[in-house]
Each structure stands twice: as structure tokens, then as C-alpha cells.
Amino acid sequence: MSDFDDTFVEIEGAASPDEALVVAVDGFEGPLDLLLSLARNQKVDLAKISVLELAEQYLAFVESARSRNLELAADYLVMAAWLAYLKSRLLLPQAAPEGETPADQMAELLRLRLQRLHAIREAGARLMAGNHLGREIFARGMPEPVEVVRVQEQIDSLYDLLTAYSRERLKSVAVRAYKPGHAPVLLIEEARERLERMLGRIGNWSALARLLPPEWSSGVRRRSGMASTLLACLELARDGRIELRQLRPFDEIYVRDRGVREDTEMV
Amino acid sequence: MNQVVRLADIMAKGEIEEHAGPEEVAPRLDAEHLRMLEAILFAASEPLDEAALGRLLPQGTSVAALLAELQEIYRARGVNLVKVAGKWQFRTAPDLSFLLRREKPEQRRLSRAAIETLAIVAYHQPVTRAQIEDIRGVALSKGTIDALMEVGWVKIRGRKRTVGRPVTYGTTEAFLVHFGLESVGDLPGADELKAAGFLDALPASGLDIPAPSENLAPDEDPLEESDPGEGEDNAV
Amino acid sequence: MNQVVRLADIMAKGEIEEHAGPEEVAPRLDAEHLRMLEAILFAASEPLDEAALGRLLPQGTSVAALLAELQEIYRARGVNLVKVAGKWQFRTAPDLSFLLRREKPEQRRLSRAAIETLAIVAYHQPVTRAQIEDIRGVALSKGTIDALMEVGWVKIRGRKRTVGRPVTYGTTEAFLVHFGLESVGDLPGADELKAAGFLDALPASGLDIPAPSENLAPDEDPLEESDPGEGEDNAV
């Protein structure tokens, strides 16, 4: 506890009686801090300070501030009122009024609060004076970052390989064996099944040409693709599931989903 | 393309353990695991806990035993293996601070009020604003708590189950890491403060101040996700 | 609380210099300097040269000798002291660099064209691009062969002794490893494929499936060192 003195002398600086106190009032962190500073001036263990003396010093300080027309914050005045009351109680020792704490207990409580503040303040000072990471103690100056490496992992199996090979070889054999004589035709049923799967995903007035299966949308196959898809569309239009529109003969034919139209009208 | 040195390869080589005695059951494995642990901790920028280390080491490694051994190896060295906030980190030895000490100019000095408040939060946690004000005998400005939260040393940790359910403050993991503490129980002088009764509640003030603890106090609720928490600040 | 390992304690114990020979004049002092050097290098935010280290260490320290000793201490450890471009720093041991790498596997599958091409290369090797195209009935895009070479399953193995001397493709060792084959001769033949149900749709005429070989074909020349090989690709 004796090393507290050093800390305190420093905080108080040139705090000689009354004069310095008034000047330094702004430097105090509230009335308890001021009381603690006054108590330290008694140069005794905080547990043994004279609370009566302390109260008188505090009240004298407040009086001196008043006489110099210095304004004191409200909490300093609240403390002054309490200390004045405590002082009167201490000076006239008698049984405490009903429901009130005895004066010596009030005094003891003040001592405890001062000790507690002093102790925690000391602890804070010790903490800050201790080792700080980055000030006295250092972690690795050049930490080595973790590198995330993407590793490509082929998951093709022997089965895949053999399937691919068989498929490839069978294709050539099949072409040779069947000699297909008939022209490739997209069946109307196929076109209709495909369109039905697309229902709900057809945009508002999509061009018919854009609805062709990719493998039936170019070259000679396009004709069959177009014809069968148009027929399938007519069937679906008859069933009331889609609508068709053509602005003039031979112009592009547009398709829309009836479901889509209802949605857009609602909006 | 990615020529990765496989664990198995290294372990098969077992180049390191020249000093392995015959009585050691699995000396090759241990020495190699020790090297791995050393490398992981050396490379890391943050303290690592045992679970994280366990995930990086081969399965079945006794991380705790390895850490104890590594700590012993480095005990008297210029770099020590220390446990902070329940995690492990290599740090320069405290006695070499005279050699390494650097004051960072940007390291903002905390105000006296802030340091005092930090100490109260650290030693008394969980603690409410009212309790801080009671100990200091003065109103706590919002800026003081803000400064401590900004440094990252103090956080809102819950709400007290009393009237108004005030938020409670506590210290963060960053606080422990910064001051090199394993837990708040290791705060310097905590035992003395407690023994002197300074961490107890004062009778007349009706305060309930237990010893610092990171666990929820009996009358403390955890902060909920949706809980704004900060709201309390405006009330003062 | 602050358990500081004191300079004096360590020097009194003299724990560091177990290997200190009797000819060393001031081994205790060196041990302390070694700790300092260790801490300085550990905490440094950039590699340091001997001149810089000399300025940080007490006057009269033999930096070079200390560095050599520290390097030796860390030689077989998880972290090594290395000199890069005349400056010293601690680095994770090269054989443990995998610890600083997290592999993120990405599963990939060959495109249909690629696996078909691979299958043809495997069965028909040595095979030229023209032969592959002939079997598949479609032109082979440059990307397909490139992809297979990149995965490391297909290589250029020689040149065919015909007009234009086209390069011949074959499979690699990595191909055999991945698909679990001892040699390309282990690829199932027509009977086995049929038995396994791969050729169910096969018409009566049957299919001529070659017996692949890694040996040079009679009409194939080995690829010479100076042969760029790839040149052929541009011709198609």
C-alpha cells in the first residue's frame, strides 16, 4: 500500500493546501475523487482516516470556493450536504433516529468507498503499467498467411471411360449398319411434350422460332422442327393453354403462355 | 502439378528425432508432431485454441501434451509459448521488453476516467453503468465507455435481471490477449482486491458485485441477437 | 502475477548452453545474446541484415556467430532461421509448408467429347488426330486434346511414319494410376466389354477393338528431344 503514495503525489502535483485545491477543482473526477485526495493528505492508512476531519476539510473547500464565486457542480454540493449532516451526527453522538444508519457506520462506509476507489484506481494503474502486446511483448512480426489452394480432382471413373468408348464405337457401327434412308423428322408428339414441359417458362410473346429444340433449329432439320412445333402449338392453343399471334401473313409467329398473361394483367 | 508434401511422406522419413531414446514408445511421431505444432503456432498471427490446433494436426495427436512439451522447450528462451484467453501463442519473453519496447505514437492514451472505468469493468465484471458510477462517485460519460469499446477491450455482455434490465459490461478476448492474461481470474492483484473485500458489495449502497467472471452472473441474462443493448446509453 | 523469467536466473542456471564446449570463453553471455537475437528476429516485421541486428544487440556482440548458432538450433525444427537476400528471418520449415496450405478440392469431370477422345486415345494408341477424328466422325477441337494433356492423362508419344509425320498420342502413367490400371493392356477387350454389358446394342457384325500398347508401333517414331511435337496441332 505504501507505493500508493508515489502515485498520488504525482497526481496531486504541487497540491499544497486550499489554494491549489481550488485551482485544481476541474482536475477532480467528482466529489469522491476530491475526498480521496483530501484523505491522502491525512497521511494515514485510508482505513483509519478521521472522517470528521475529512468532512471539515471538504466543507471548508466548498466554502472557500463559494467565497471566491466559483461555481461547483451539483454533485459536489450534494456531497457537501451529506457530509455536513454526517458531521453533525458525529459531533452529537446519540442514538440514531428510527430507521437511520448509525453515524459511525456511515463514516465507515465512506472510508470503505474511498478505499475501494483507491484500490481499483491502483489496479488500473498497475494494469496499464504492465506489459502490453505490441509495446513490451510481441507476437510474430511476420506471421505467415495460410494459403488456400484449389485442388482439381478428376472424378471420371473407369466406368465412365468404358461407357464413352463403347458409345463412341457403337455409334460408328450403328451408322454403318442401319444406313438410315428416311429424312429426320421431329414428331409432333415430341414437340408437344417438349412445349408442355416449357409451359410456365415461356416468356410473354416469344417468337416461335426461338422455341425450337436446339438440335432442330438449323439446317434441313429446321423445317421439320418448325412444322412440328407449330402444329404442337396449334394443339395447345386449341386446348386453351397458350395463345398465338401473327401480325401479317408469313410474319413471325409469337407464342405466349395463358398463365403468364393472367399474371401480368394482375400486376 | 500441385506437389504437396504429404504427411505420410514426412512421417515415413522421420528425419528429425536423432535424440530419440529406445524407451520412447512413439518418438518419431511425437517429434514430428512437435515440429508441426511449433510451425503452426509460429506462423499464426492470432492465438490458437487446442481445438483449432487439433484440427490442423494429424488425428489422434495429444495436443495438450505436445503444448506442455513445447512450452517447456521455450520456457527459458527469447520467445515463450504462453496461454492467453485460453489460447496459445508464441510471444517474446517479458524480460526482454527493455530491448524491444516500442511506444507507438498512434497508440492513443486513454483518459484517467477511462483507465479507472476499464479497471472497474475488468475486476468487477459483469458490471452495470450504475455500479461503475457508484464506485467512482461520479456520472459516467458516454464517451468513456465508447473509448473503451472502440479500443476493443470492453463489450456489452448481457443484461442484469433488475428493474430496467440495465446492460452489463465486461472485458473482451482482445483485452486478455493484449494484456497477456489467460483469463480475468489472472488479473494482477485480483486476489488481493478480493481478500480486502473491495470487490464485494457495499452494505448501504445495496449493490451486488461478485468477483469478476466471464460466465453469466446469476442475475444476468445473455444479450440477445435482437437486443439493441446500446439503448441504455442514451438514458444517462 | 507477472512471472518474469529473469536474465540473471537464466544465466545463473545456464540452461541454454548444454552443448557449450570448454573452449568457449563467455558462454553464459552468449546464451543471453542468443535469446535477444531470437526475440528480435521473431518480433521483426521484416527480414533484418547483420548490420541492423548489430545495432539492436548490445555492443560488441558477434552477430555472425550468434546467427550461425541460432540457425543451428532451429535447423531441424518446425521453424528455421533462413537468410534470404542477405537478410535473416524465421520461416516455416519447407517440409511443413503444407501446414500453411488448406486444400480446397474441386471435383471435375471431363466433357463428353474429352472422355470419348480419351477413351479412343487409350484403346487406339498410338493414334493421330486424323485417326481420332475418323473414329469419332467429328472434327477434334484443339481444346479437347489440350484439356486431356493438362489433366496429365494424354501425351504426345511419337510421330507416325506417313505423309506429314503427324504426332501420335498415347496415355500417361498418371492415366493408369487414376483409372487403376497396371498397363494399357489391362483395358478390357471386346469380350469383356460385352460381358459387362457395355456393348449390348452391338449388331451381329461385331466390333474390332484393338489391343493397345505402350510400345512403339511399327510405323511410329519416338519423339525426339528437339521435336516440338505440338506443331501439328496448328495444321488442323
Pull the grid cell for residue B171: 472485458
Q: In terms of Cα–Cα distance, which of C75, C81, C86 is closest to C48?
A: C86
Q: Note whether A152 contacts C193, CB cutoff 8 Å.
A: no
User: Average pLDDT, stretch A72-92?
Assistant: 84
Please tell me if residue B122 touches chain A, with a CB cutoff of 8 Å.
yes
Choice among A78-87, A217-226, C48-57 with the minimum mean pLDDT: A217-226
pLDDT for residue C232: 46
For C43-56, give one letter per residue: b (16+ CB within 10 A) or e.
bbeebbeeebbbeb
Q: Confirm or reject contact between B161 and chain C (CB < 8 A).
A: no
Asked if the model's pLDDT at residue A249 lies above 90, the reply is no
Work out the number of other CB atoms within 10 angstroms of the CB of residue B69.
17
- A contact set with B (CB within 8 A): 29-33, 35, 75, 79, 101, 105-106, 109, 112-113, 115-117, 119-128, 130-140, 143-146, 149, 151
Of A138, A141, A149, which is closest to C103 when you measure between CB atoms?
A149
Mean pLDDT (whole number) for B194-216: 59
B97 close to A (CB below 8 A): yes
> Among C2, C43, C95, whose Cβ lies nearest the Cβ of B100?
C43
- Which residues lie below 8 Å from residue A81, measured CB to CB, with a gap of 6+? none
> Do B115 and A128 touch, CB atoms closer than 8 A?
yes
Place of cell 429444340: A213
**Contact (CB, 8 A) for B139 and B227:** no
Q: What is the pLDDT of residues B121-143, one digit of tens each?
A: 999 999 999 999 989 988 898 88
The answer to whether residue C123 neighbours chain A at the CB level (below 8 Å) is yes
Please give the Cα distance from C16 to B224 (Å, whole number): 52
Tell me the mean pLDDT in the region A226-251. Answer: 86
The Cα A121–Cα A118 span in angstroms is: 5
- Closest in B119, B177, B179 to A123, CB measured: B119
Q: Does C36 touch chain B (CB under 8 A)?
A: yes
CA nearest to A73 within chain B = B138
Most confident of A93-102, A136-145, B5-14: A136-145
pLDDT band at A99 (very low <50, low <70, confident <90, very high): low
Choose among C109, C122, C199: nearest Cβ to A170.
C199
DSSP character string of B184-207: GGGSTTHHHHHHTTTTSPPTTTT-
Per-residue pLDDT of C166-219, as tens digits, reads 999 999 999 999 888 888 888 888 888 887 777 776 654 566 788 888 888 888
Question: In whole numbers, what is the pLDDT of chain C averaged over residues?
Answer: 81
Average pLDDT over residues B159-185: 92
Specify the DSSP class assigned to residue A46. G
Chain CA centroid to CA B144, Å: 22
Q: How far apart are CA B69 and CA B73, in angstroms?
A: 6
Nearest alpha carbon to residue B80 among C7, A139, C88: A139
Q: Does B68 touch chain A (CB under 8 A)?
A: no
Hey, which of A39-53, A190-204, A236-250, B148-162 has the most confident mean pLDDT? Answer: B148-162
User: What pLDDT, on a 0 to 100 scale, did the predictor assign at position B9?
Assistant: 41
C-alpha angle A122-A127-A128 in degrees, rounded to nearest 5: 100
Instruction: Say yes or no for a CB contact (<8 Å) between B94 and C5.
Output: yes
Q: What is the mean pLDDT of residues C217-226?
A: 79
Taking each helix axis from N to C terminus, what angle separates A31-41 and A51-67, rounded to the nearest 10 degrees?
120
pTM (2 d.p.):
0.59
Q: Which residues lie closer than 8 Å to B88 by C-beta, 6 or more apart?
A: B41, B47, B48, B49, B50, B53, B67, B81, B82
The pLDDT of residue B43: 93
Is there a contact between C2 and B94 if contact means CB atoms under 8 Å apart?
A: yes
pLDDT at residue B122, rounded to an integer = 95
Reported as type and span, the H/E element at residue C180 is none
Say yes or no to pLDDT of B209 above 80. Answer: no
Least confident of A7-16, A67-76, C103-112, C212-221: A7-16
Computed on alpha carbons and rounded to an integer, the radius of gyration of chain B in Å comes to 23
Residue B152 forms contact with A (CB below 8 Å): no
Q: Where are the alpha helices (DSSP H) in chain C?
A: 7-13, 27-43, 50-56, 63-73, 112-124, 129-136, 142-151, 173-179, 190-195, 231-235
Q: Quote the minimal CA–CA distance from A38 to chain B in Å.
A: 15
Please give the DSSP secondary-structure letter assigned to residue B85: T
Does residue C86 have a pLDDT over 80? yes
Query: Which ranges in chain B belong to alpha helices (H)?
Result: 7-13, 27-43, 50-56, 63-73, 97-100, 112-124, 129-136, 142-151, 173-179, 190-195, 231-235
* C152-165 mean pLDDT: 90
**Residue among C42, C102, C116 minimizing CB distance to A146:** C102
* Percentage of chain A modeled with pLDDT above 70: 79
C151 touches chain B (CB under 8 A): no
Across A53-70, average pLDDT: 84
Whole-Å CA distances, C210 to C124, C184, C185, C189:
6, 11, 10, 8
Work out how many CB contacts closer than 8 A connect B with C: 98
